[in-house]
Amino acid sequence: MGIFDHLALGFSVVFSLSNLLFCFIGVFIGTLIGVLPGIGPVATISLLLPVTFGMNPITSIIMLAGVYYGAQYGGSTTSILVNIPGEASSIVTCLDGYQMARQGRAGPALGISAFGSFIGGTASIVGLMLLAPVLARAALKFGPPEYFALMLFGLTMVTYLCMGSIIKGLIMAVAGLAISTIGQDPIVGVTRFTLGSITLMDGIGLVPVAMGVFGVGEVLTNIEENIKQEVFAAKLSGLLPTLKDWIDSKWPIVRGTLIGFFMGILPGGGVVIPTFICYTVEKRLSKHPEKFGTGTIEGVAAPETANNAATGGSLVTLLSLGIPANVSMAVLLGAFIIHGIQPGPLLLTKHPDLFWGTIASMYIGNVMLLVLNLPLIGIWVKLLKVPYNILFPLILLFCFLGVYSLNNNIYEILIMIIFGVFGYLIRKFGFEGAPFLLAMVLGPMMEIAFRQSLIYGDPLIFFKRPISAILLIIALFLLITPLFSKITRKRKEMSEVLEE
């Protein structure tokens, strides 16, 4: 079967009433939570997981993937109108987007971010479609040492690319791996670190921890700071960018697509880093770099295109290797496993309908988002006026309800609260939650691959097989390079922008 036959299969899967409906629900909820500061795709996908239990796995994945890429569309609205990024991936958009709004050009800023998102998102699906099957075929040759090295490389990338201190990132990654050892040993079945608790025998669930660190923890941080949003009062008119806007944004959109997609594939690349890189690249290539930060349209087009292009990229590693590139993908991996499907090289042959159905749904979802976003901006603005002291109790209610619905177990709510406090404290002490959660998801797979590799009888096997040796050497190199002051300075600059 050629690629077009596969795609035809995908579209035949999506064009059922229920799949189209849930694709719409996914992208709608995604945009909604993208608009709202204080709740992101990680907490939302976790929250929706119990709702998908009774659903067909394909429909569930179509909806949850829709939440993920939909959130990137919504995040720009708050950046441009309120100067508060709805998502971390829209932080850079604040710099020029809000300035454009202040100059009465909120319409074109929102317009170009919607069109850029559409172009970046759609182009990245083409990349995903072409690259994922090739990578999946290559991964069929992987044994436990290669898988272990690949996961270790992924975790190193996550800590390397996180905004703050690398050593703090490494501590969070090791802590996440340690948490994943609670429960039954994956090889011999011995119960570890459970203190006799029946709830802990199955291990600590991903959803209570994800909702705790990224849902409750985020809310606690916000209520301490007592955030108040003020929506820019300018009347929105002329959402369609002018011809000059298009000419100015043409190349930033192309570069944003390429950088976003390839950075999205890299483990740890996520959707945030590409936006910073794109903004820096555009500023450097511009004939008027001094205009960046004062409301230039290139400063909105490039990062908004990049964060959507990265969504397709990050799905490449999840679908073809079964390894999540970022935290949202880690939660999506949890969703696959709950539905009894293991993403990875065999997904394409065992569940072609799911693989191609998800890809086809993303084409349709991106069109829905374009159609949905521009006319609904007025509604999103009204939604932003809902005070945070009404919004945060509702977010906590949904977290409470979502975690309980998972297994009807109040101890899991308790776990969520404990990890909520943990999430709040790590933010306060300058640690990041992403390496922790990603390590927690990869932990059991890493332990199995690590111990199976050692059973080969040679502890140096990781360095004797070429693929694992190369991956481990790159990982070691990444850990050593921050010693060079230039890279450390760049990281410091990025974390300063984030703090501002």
Torsion sign across C-alpha atoms 7, 13, 16, 18: negative
- Residue 296: CB atoms within 10 A of its CB come to 23
Among 17, 198, 340, 429, binds another protein (CB under 8 A): 429
Residue 158 binds another protein, judged by CB under 8 A: no
DSSP-assigned states of every residue in 75-134 = HHHHHHHHSS-SSGGGHHHHHHHHHHHHTT-HHHHHHHHHHHHHHHHHHHHHHHHHHHHH
Among 7, 8, 20, 51, binds another protein (CB under 8 A): 51
Binding range to another protein, per CB under 8 A, among 179-187, 255-263, 277-285, 481-489 = 179-187
Sequence-ordered strand ranges (E) for 213-253: none
Helix, strand counts (H, E) of the chain: 23, 2
Residue closer to another protein (CB basis): 417 or 471: 417
Among 196, 375, 457, 466, binds another protein (CB under 8 A): 457
- x-marked contacts with another protein along 55-94 as a string, rule CB under 8 A: ----------------------------------------
Nearest-approach distance from CB 430 to another protein, in angstroms:
8
SS3 173: helix
Residue 393 binds another protein, judged by CB under 8 A: yes
Paired tokens of 142: 């992987």
Residue closer to another protein (CB basis): 59 or 165: 165
350 to 181, 344, 345: CA distances (angstroms): 30, 10, 9
- Residue 256: CB atoms within 10 A of its CB come to 34
Binding range to another protein, per CB under 8 A, among 140-148, 184-192, 229-237, 331-339 = 184-192
Range 143-162 burial, b when 16+ CB lie within 10 A, else e? ebbbbbbbbbbbbbbbbbbb
How many Å apart are CA 212 and CA 218, to the nearest integer?
Answer: 9
Yes or no: say if 81 and 37 are a contact pair by the CB < 8 Å rule: no
- x-marked contacts with another protein along 459-488 as a string, rule CB under 8 A: x-----------------------------
Residue closer to another protein (CB basis): 214 or 292: 214
How many Å apart are CA 367 and CA 360, to the nearest integer?
Answer: 11
Residue 148 binds another protein, judged by CB under 8 A: no
153 to 41, 324, 325, 490: CA distances (angstroms): 24, 12, 11, 22
Residue closer to another protein (CB basis): 157 or 216: 216
Residue closer to another protein (CB basis): 248 or 447: 447
Among 279, 431, 436, 462, binds another protein (CB under 8 A): 431
Residue closer to another protein (CB basis): 8 or 383: 383
Q: Is 85 left (phi over 0), alpha (psi -120 to 50) or beta?
A: beta
Binding range to another protein, per CB under 8 A, among 270-278, 280-288, 445-453, 488-496 = 445-453
Residue 220 binds another protein, judged by CB under 8 A: yes
Residue closer to another protein (CB basis): 378 or 393: 393
Alpha helix locations (H) across 162-191? 166-179
55 to 19, 61, 252, 329, 438: CA distances (angstroms): 11, 10, 40, 20, 26
Nearest-approach distance from CB 194 to another protein, in angstroms:
11
Q: Which of residues 331-390 bind another protein (CB under 8 A)?
A: 389-390
- Residue 175: CB atoms within 10 A of its CB come to 17
Binding range to another protein, per CB under 8 A, among 81-89, 263-271, 290-298, 409-417 = 409-417
Residue 219 binds another protein, judged by CB under 8 A: yes
Residue closer to another protein (CB basis): 21 or 134: 21
Burial of 8 (0-12, 13-18, 19+ CB in 10 A): middle
Among 5, 458, 493, 496, binds another protein (CB under 8 A): 458
Residue closer to another protein (CB basis): 458 or 493: 458
Q: Which of residues 185-214 bind another protein (CB under 8 A)?
A: 185, 187-188, 190, 192-193
How many Å apart are CA 337 and CA 122, to the nearest integer?
Answer: 27
The count of chain residues that interact with another protein, using the rule CB under 8 A, is: 56
Among 7, 16, 143, 181, binds another protein (CB under 8 A): 181
Beta bridge partners of 192: 183
Residue closer to another protein (CB basis): 178 or 236: 178
Yes or no: say if 120 and 305 are a contact pair by the CB < 8 Å rule: yes
Q: State the residues that interact with another protein by CB under 8 A.
A: 50-51, 165, 167-168, 170-171, 174-175, 177-178, 181, 185, 187-188, 190, 192-193, 216, 219-220, 223-226, 389-390, 392-394, 396-397, 400-401, 404-405, 408, 410, 413-414, 417, 420-421, 424, 428-431, 447, 450-451, 454-455, 457-459
